[in-house]
Amino acid sequence: MALFRIVLLLVALAPFHAYAEESLTIAVASNFQATAQEIATEFTRETGIPVRLSGGSTGKLYAQIVNGAPYDIFLAADITRPKLLEDNGVAVSGSRMTYAIGSLVLWSADKSLTGDNCRAALENGTYKHLAIANPMIAPYGAAAREFLQSAGLLHDASTRMVYGENISQTLLFVVTGNATLGLVAASQVKGELPLSASCSWSVPRSTHSALDQQAVILTRTGNAESAQRFMRFLQTPQTAGILGSRGYTVPE
């Protein structure tokens, strides 16, 4: 009888063990976190494979990965760091792919600004603080800095700049009124925000480096098959629809 109970227990637990072994832990750049959650929900619904997301700036997540963080996949906001991981054997060779192309928006919730006055306020210097993500660790911050440099506005803006650790914190500065203007990801203002924009302006992509976002499977993954399934899911028409609705351009 005791042996029979043990057998029943093992049979009952087997699906849960398999479920745990298939689960994925994904490091995702802050700008993509809400979109990744939507994609992950659809992926789990179709495959039964659970996904856990860990968000942060691309630079911070990269440092965690280099130092042994147990992620299966890295969804970065640039090309540089996934390539470094691949070149150094930390990412699976040949797994690197561009999954989305982002864009910058100059955004404000300041009631004194309306319409396209965001751009005028930036150019005329009629603002108190400008929020951007830390250019050293956040690709969207680096792109924001490049735009300001190309527009001849960096010198004036540098004295009034406030830096978010990542693009999510950058948007928070603007939403809470701690910054008049913010250079944030277009995808962020496509989602649900606690208040509407008073003004916004799409930053021309020609004014900064391309925001090509790449993904890689990490070599330390214990779930290579599930990771490959997720990477394939990123390239489906279903995912393309999600990306478009969130303000990303789909790679050709």
Euclidean distance between CA atoms 14 and 10, whole angstroms: 6
Arithmetic mean of pLDDT over the chain: 90
Euclidean distance between CA atoms 208 and 147, whole angstroms: 5
Residue 148 lies in a domain: yes
Same domain, 130 and 97: no
* Structure tokens given for 244: 């478009």
Q: In this structure, what CATH number is given to the domain that contains residue 94?
A: 3.40.190.10
Higher pLDDT, 102 or 11: 102
Same domain, 195 and 228: no
Q: Which tens digits make up the pLDDT trace of 184-211?
A: 999 998 876 778 889 999 999 999 999 9
**pTM for this one?**
0.87
pLDDT reported for residue 214: 98
Provide the percentage of residues in the chain whose pLDDT is more than 70. Answer: 91
- Strand order through the sheet with 97-102: 51-56, 24-29, 73-75, 211-217, 97-102
Same domain, 119 and 167: yes
Instruction: Calculate mean pLDDT across residues 159-164.
Output: 96
- Boundaries of domain holding 125: 104-202
Same domain, 111 and 89: no
Same domain, 132 and 198: yes
For residue 218, report the phi and psi dihedrals to the nearest 5 degrees. -90, 145
Euclidean distance between CA atoms 216 and 77, whole angstroms: 12
Same domain, 116 and 173: yes
- How many structural domains comprise the chain? 2
* Confidence class for position 116, pLDDT limits 50, 70, 90: confident
* Confidence class for position 21, pLDDT limits 50, 70, 90: low
Name the DSSP class of 152. T
Strand residue runs (E) in the chain: 24-29, 51-56, 73-75, 97-102, 104-108, 130-133, 161-164, 181-185, 199-202, 211-217
Residue 252 lies in a domain: no
152 burial type by CB count under 10 A (0-12 exposed, 13-18 middle, 19+ buried): exposed
Residue 250 lies in a domain: no
Residue 6 lies in a domain: no
Same domain, 34 and 94: yes
Residue 251 lies in a domain: no
* Confidence class for position 117, pLDDT limits 50, 70, 90: confident
Residue 240 lies in a domain: yes
Same domain, 80 and 110: no
Same domain, 93 and 19: yes
pLDDT reported for residue 251: 87
Residue 2 lies in a domain: no
Same domain, 91 and 110: no
User: Contact at 8 Å (CB) between 26 and 40?
Assistant: yes
Same domain, 57 and 111: no
pLDDT reported for residue 181: 97
Q: Which tens digits make up the pLDDT trace of 45-88?
A: 999 999 999 999 999 999 999 999 999 999 999 999 999 999 99
Same domain, 55 and 26: yes
Residue 21 lies in a domain: yes
